Amino acid sequence: MSTKTGFNEKLSSKLAIEYPDFAKLPERVKQKYESLPTIVNIFRMLGYSPGTFVEIIDLTNAIFKNLILSDYHKELLVLQVAAHEGCL
């Protein structure tokens, strides 16, 4: 009988790729990165695409920060897009 530990070797959260050095990226990318109120890993990884970094952060802010929707409706919107794209 096997015991379940809740850990899956294939789905480890260990990082195998280093984050980019934002000090070496273009000034507008560095400024946008430093102005983020919360820096999550996905934003760090976007540093590998400096040509789209600022635009993606602005789009994220437009959707989740500047949009006047309740949390319920935001989540509903995310789920509808995921269902439309076949992610659910």
Per-residue pLDDT of the chain (88 residues; tens, 9 = 90+): 445 555 556 666 666 788 999 999 999 999 999 999 888 888 999 999 999 999 999 998 887 777 787 889 888 988 999 898 888 7
- How many distinct structural domains can be found in the chain? 1
Assigned token pair, 58: 């602005």
For 62, the domain range is: 21-84
Q: Is residue 73 part of a domain?
A: yes
Exposure of 61 by Cβ count < 10 A (0-12 exposed, 13-18 middle, 19+ buried)?
Answer: middle
Residue 13 included in any domain: no
Q: How many CA atoms lie within 13 A of 2 on its CB side?
A: 3
Query: According to the model, what pLDDT value does residue 65 have?
Result: 79
